[in-house]
């Protein structure tokens, strides 16, 4: 990465540039892949022979190559940051969904176990009421299953949360290492 952009190869240089030559260089530099000295000369109303002299004296080709490399590096870095940010966002959504589903399953489990507890309590108080053991077993079994699923989902959500905290990625950093 370029550490000091204020003194980059494409910056103004007292040894290489005048204000007029630098203005023309900037036009040339910013043309990108379609850059031509003749186009830069025309765009700045300069004589092509003069622009060719400035280009030679000012190492324009070397300077625009450095500029192009910097722009390319910056674009790759931005794409990496965007991809990382999107992936982190997906992982966070996944964790949130697991947590929500986990709590929902625990709520279902609590209700199932409460129904089973109430049915047994009602049966103890009224032994003449017919209570099918299979019904109580099914309700309790559903509650236990919901508890196991909810606990597993919450555990996964916590693990993914810990993973997110431990990622050594700073999307706001200047560069992606």
Whether residue 111 is contained in a domain is answered as yes
Q: Does residue 88 surpass a pLDDT of 60?
A: yes
Bigger pLDDT: 97 or 119? 97
Contact 80, 74 (CB under 8 A): no
Question: Structure tokens of 77?
Answer: 């870095």
Same domain, 157 and 102: yes
Whether residue 53 is contained in a domain is answered as yes
Question: Structure tokens of 73?
Answer: 């590096």
Whether residue 74 is contained in a domain is answered as no
Same domain, 42 and 96: no
DSSP for 25-62? HHHHHTTGGG--HHHHHHHTT--HHHHHHHHHHTTHHH
Mean pLDDT in residue range 146-156: 82
Residue 176 confidence (pLDDT): 52
Binned at pLDDT 50, 70 and 90, residue 64 comes out as very high
Question: Structure tokens of 37?
Answer: 């000295």
Q: How far is CA 11 from the centre of its chain?
A: 32
Binned at pLDDT 50, 70 and 90, residue 175 comes out as low
Residue 3 confidence (pLDDT): 46
Q: Find, among 157, 137, 142, the residue nearest to 107 by Cα.
A: 142
Query: How many structural domains compose the chain?
Result: 2
Same domain, 44 and 89: no
pTM of the predicted protein model: 0.57
d(CA 93, CA 98): 9
Residue 2 confidence (pLDDT): 41
Q: Does residue 1 surpass a pLDDT of 60?
A: no
Mean pLDDT in residue range 137-162: 81
Please give the share of the chain, as a percent, with pLDDT higher than 70. 90
Whether residue 17 is contained in a domain is answered as yes
d(CA 116, CA 122): 10
Residue 116 confidence (pLDDT): 76
d(CA 35, CA 41): 11
Mean pLDDT in residue range 59-65: 95
The boundaries of the domain holding residue 42 are 6-58
- Characterise 2 by phi-psi region: left (phi > 0), alpha (psi -120 to 50), beta (else): beta
Same domain, 157 and 87: yes
Same domain, 87 and 152: yes
Mean pLDDT over each residue of the chain, to the nearest integer: 84
Bigger pLDDT: 53 or 100? 53
Residue 92 confidence (pLDDT): 87
């Amino acid at each position: 990465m370029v550490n000091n952009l204020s003194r980059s190869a494409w910056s103004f240089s007292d040894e290489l540039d005048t204000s007029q030559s630098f203005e023309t260089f900037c036009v040339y530099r910013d043309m990108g892949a379609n850059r031509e000295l003749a186009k830069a000369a025309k765009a700045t109303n300069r004589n092509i022979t003069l622009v060719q002299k400035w280009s030679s004296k000012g190492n324009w080709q070397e300077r625009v190559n450095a500029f192009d490399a910097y722009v390319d590096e910056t674009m790759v870095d931005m794409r990496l940051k965007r991809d990382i940010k999107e992936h982190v966002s997906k992982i966070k959504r996944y964790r949130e969904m697991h947590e929500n589903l986990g709590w929902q399953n625990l709520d279902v489990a609590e209700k199932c176990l409460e129904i089973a507890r109430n049915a047994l309590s009602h049966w103890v108080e009224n032994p003449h009421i017919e209570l099918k053991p299979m019904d109580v077993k099914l309700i309790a079994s559903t509650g236990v299953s919901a508890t196991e699923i909810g606990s597993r989902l919450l555990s996964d959500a916590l693990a993914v949360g810990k993973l997110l905290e431990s990622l050594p990625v700073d999307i706001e950093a200047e560069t992606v290492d």
